[in-house]
Amino acid sequence: MGRYLIAGNWKMNLNQSDSRALAAAIAAQAGDVEADLLVCPPHVYLNQVAAEIAGTPVALGAQNAYHEPSGAFTGETSVAMLADVGCQFAILGHSERRHVMGETDADVNKKLHAVLAGGLTPIVCVGELLAERESGQTDAVIAKQFEGSLAGLTAEDATKIVLAYEPVWAIGTGKVATPDQAEQVHAGLRKLLSDRYNAEIAKSIRLLYGGSVKPDNAAELMSQPNVDGVLVGGASLKAADFLAIAAGASKAS
């Protein structure tokens, strides 16, 4: 595992053949990239993408997971099912899950414990709305999401998670946080981790930035001391852009 993780969140985009082609194109170049690469296709394409990236350094992740192990939960996908098709990661509490589907910190927390129990790495997303930033509430919002989403997380399990700071106003809008804005929140998250656990554990947890990351801004974001990678939406749908973003990790380090 290197310092940087470059994660692609394909959201509800692409079809079966496009998903396969994108995964294959990323996998073909993955050996040239110093960063760890992760692709998170829609659930229905996980199997096909798994086949394309098998035997390559590209990891597979899900965009969501349900906390119950099985049963009458129509439309949901358990952690065991995700593991069964080869997922190593699951994104939890993405802003679209929080703000479109109404997920709460308590929901994210249940999912976090289920994902860890199932042996996958959770990528827990936090981030403030524009109105919250403009009214000076960013730190308080992040701290509340941190506490609620990570409730009951032991020190041992804390070393197994990834956190993603995704300001809601920067997701899919073309408005990227400045490297200073990202670093400020990331340094705050590192401190929250350090205060709750210890400095060594805090340092071992990768903190990703997400929100309109593109090839031309990725390296500068990742050159910040507390930015250990990026979670990429729109630009992860083109292999060349995703790989150019990943190449930014080498320039940053």
Strands of 69-220 (E only): list them.
Answer: 89-92, 121-126, 162-165, 206-210
| C-beta of 219 vs 232, nearer to ligand PEP | 232
Question: Among 52, 94, 96, 132, which one carries the catalytic annotation?
Answer: 94
- The distance of closest approach from Cβ of residue 174 to ligand PEP in the complex, given in angstroms and rounded to an integer, is 8
Q: Which amino acid is at 212?
A: S
Interface contacts to ligand PEP, rule CB under 6 A: 9, 11, 94, 166, 171-172, 210-213, 231-235
State yes or no: is 200 an active-site residue. no
Phi/psi-derived region of residue 172, left when phi > 0, alpha when psi is between -120 and 50, beta in every other case = left
Closest residue to ligand PEP, judged by C-beta, is: 233
Q: Shortest approach of ligand PEP to residue 234 CB, angstroms?
A: 3
- Please, what is the minimum distance in Å from the beta carbon of residue 12 to ligand PEP? 11
Interatomic CA distance for residues 131 and 43, integer angstroms: 32
Which DSSP letter does residue 178 get? P
Whether the CB-CB separation of 110 and 150 falls below 8 Å is answered with no
What does the alpha-carbon distance between residue 80 and residue 66 come to, in Å, rounded to a whole number?
Answer: 10
Is 99 known to be catalytic?
A: no
Nearer to ligand PEP, 36 or 197 (CB): 36
Could you give the residue numbers annotated as active site?
94, 166
